[in-house]
Amino acid sequence: MLVVLLAFVAGAFALQDCPANSHYESCGTACSLTCDNYKNPPKFCVLMCNPGCHCDSGYVKAEDGSCVMPENCPNRGPEVCGENERYSGCGTACPLTCDNFDNPPKICPAMCRIGCECEKGYVRSPDGRCVRPEECPNRSSIEKNCEDKPESGMCLAYFPSYYYDKETNTCKRFIYGGCQGNGNRYRTEEECLENCAKSSSVSACDQPKVTGPCRALFHRFFFNQETGLCEKFIYGGCGGNQNNFVSQRACESACMV
């Protein structure tokens, strides 16, 4: 009985007339544009159905519930979008940028990004402008380093990358979002080890094997100066020194040059 009643109510609501400049949607957006938010709308919107009357395209909801053109909103300010930009009520969560336009993300969250996006043929530059890809600054201008903590950036693309962890002398995986970030970011573990492990671990390779005072059983590798090889040892879990590598490959990349 309850199901029938709910179906009747929903059907009756669907048949009711909506105000001027609006229409009924059984699965409308949960983040409607209003006079209060259209100039600075929410960046992301959950994909869930919001049945009811929604403003027609190009209109926003006023305080009294009517749908009006943005220019008819009270206290209307300047347009938000800049040069080579356009407003989108449901843009991609993984916009093309100077960092990723030649290798766009393979996986992107199914989320609406509300706000200004670059016009077709333009990409977002590090300074926030929309430019032609050929106008992008040299991406290698971000100086590579092995010191910074991993930084995913503000975008939500999915780029598996590697950063150098100086505490463990290893390169670890993290997900880069596609824009911003820092120089401690490498496309492959090999590239990361090549750039960081050798330069950061010269002194580590000269240090002796140290198990440490704790009694855990971690299988690690150290560089044995007498044999010139990376050999396995048991690390206790605390203390020790930098001649302590998670894998044989990490040890060899750092010490066997």
Give residue 75's pLDDT. 63
Residue 140 has pLDDT above 60, yes or no: no
Give residue 199's pLDDT. 58
Q: Is the pTM of this model over 0.75?
A: no
Mean pLDDT of 135-147: 72
Weakest mean pLDDT among 125-139, 169-183, 191-205: 191-205
- Are 49 and 28 within 8 A, CB to CB? yes
Distance CA 111, CA 101 (A): 20
Give residue 58's pLDDT. 80
Residue 6 has pLDDT above 50, yes or no: no
Task: List pLDDT tens digits, range 34-88.
Answer: 887 777 776 677 777 888 898 988 888 888 889 988 878 876 544 568 899 988 7
What type of residue sits at position 245? Answer: F
Residue 177 has pLDDT above 60, yes or no: yes
Give residue 8's pLDDT. 42
DSSP codes joined into one string, 13-33 = HHHSPPPTTEEEETT--SS--
Per-residue 3-state assignment (H helix, E strand, C coil) for 174-241: EEECCCCCCCCCECCHHHHHHHHHHHHCCCHHHCCCCCCCCCCCEEEEEEECCCCEEEEEEECCCCCC
Domains identified in the chain and CATH numbers: 22-68 (2.10.25.10), 85-135 (2.10.25.10), 142-200 (4.10.410.10), 204-255 (4.10.410.10)
Residue 31 has pLDDT above 90, yes or no: no
- Quick one: tokens of 32? 């409607």
Distance CA 209, CA 234 (A): 10
What is the average pLDDT score of the chain? 80
Weakest mean pLDDT among 34-48, 116-130, 212-226: 34-48
Distance CA 94, CA 59 (A): 26
